[in-house]
C-alpha cells in the first residue's frame, strides 16, 4: 500500500473517532446523543418494511431510520403503559421538538432514529391521534398528539427503555401522547 493510501486510511480512522466522540458529548445542541455506535440487533441496512405491519430499520444518508405503520400500547413493569412500534421497541419524544416539527436532525437522528411512516400509521391501545409530519428532508415521520416519535439506538431489544429521561429531554411516550414521568 502506498504511503498516500496509508495516510488516507489513518486520517479516515481519526475522523471517525472524532465524530463518535462528538456524538457522545452534551454540547447543548440538538445532538443529544450518548455515543452509542451499534444499531439494534434487529436492524439491518437496506431492509424493506415488512408487509405485515412490522417495523424495519435501514440506513440513509443522514444515519438510521425506522419505519412502521403500527403504534401499540404496552405495559412496562413498574412504569405503566408506553407506546412501542410493531416490534415492541419503546418510542420516545424529544423535549426540544415542537408540535408537528422535529428538531432532531443530523447526528441526533443517528442515535434517536426518527420513526417514519410506512403507509398509513395505525394505533392499537393508543388514546391520542396518530399522524404524520413531513420533515425538512421530505421524509414522513409518525407523530402522536402531534409530537414526532423516535426509537433509541441504546434499546437493543424489545421492551427496553434505556432512553427514558436521557439528557433530561428524551422521554418514553404514553398512550395519551404525553411524556412519561422521569424515573427515579
Mean pLDDT, consecutive 10-residue stretches, the chain (184 aa), reads: 44 40 37 36 34 45 72 89 96 96 93 94 95 92 97 95 96 96 65
Residues 66 and 57: beta-carbon distance below 8 Å: yes
Torsions phi, psi for 141 (to 5 deg): -100, 135
How far apart, in Å, are the Cα atoms of 184 and each of 58, 79, 143, 165?
A: 33, 11, 27, 10
Q: Could you tell me the three cell numbers for 169?
A: 429531554
Question: CA 59 to CA 110: how far, in whole Å?
Answer: 9
pLDDT for 77 equals: 81
Question: CA 70 to CA 68: how far, in whole Å?
Answer: 6
Whether the predicted model's global pTM rises above the 0.85 cut:
no
Amino acid at each position: 500500500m502506498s504511503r498516500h493510501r496509508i495516510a488516507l486510511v489513518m486520517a479516515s480512522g481519526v475522523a471517525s473517532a472524532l465524530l463518535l466522540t462528538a456524538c457522545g458529548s452534551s454540547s447543548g445542541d440538538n445532538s443529544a446523543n450518548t455515543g452509542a455506535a451499534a444499531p439494534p440487533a434487529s436492524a439491518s441496512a437496506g431492509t424493506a418494511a415488512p408487509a405485515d405491519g412490522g417495523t424495519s430499520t435501514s440506513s440513509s444518508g443522514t444515519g438510521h431510520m425506522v419505519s412502521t405503520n403500527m403504534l401499540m400500547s404496552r405495559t412496562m413493569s413498574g412504569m405503566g403503559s408506553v407506546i412501542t412500534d410493531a416490534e415492541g421497541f419503546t418510542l420516545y419524544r424529544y423535549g426540544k421538538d415542537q408540535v408537528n416539527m422535529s428538531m432532531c436532525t443530523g447526528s441526533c437522528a443517528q442515535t434517536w432514529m426518527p420513526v417514519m411512516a410506512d403507509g398509513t400509521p395505525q394505533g392499537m391501545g393508543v388514546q391520542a391521534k396518530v399522524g404524520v409530519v413531513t420533515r425538512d428532508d421530505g421524509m414522513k415521520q409518525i407523530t402522536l398528539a402531534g409530537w414526532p416519535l423516535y426509537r433509541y439506538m441504546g434499546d437493543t431489544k424489545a421492551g427496553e427503555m434505556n432512553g427514558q429521561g436521557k439528557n433530561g429531554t428524551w422521554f418514553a411516550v404514553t398512550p395519551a401522547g404525553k411524556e412519561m414521568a422521569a424515573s427515579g
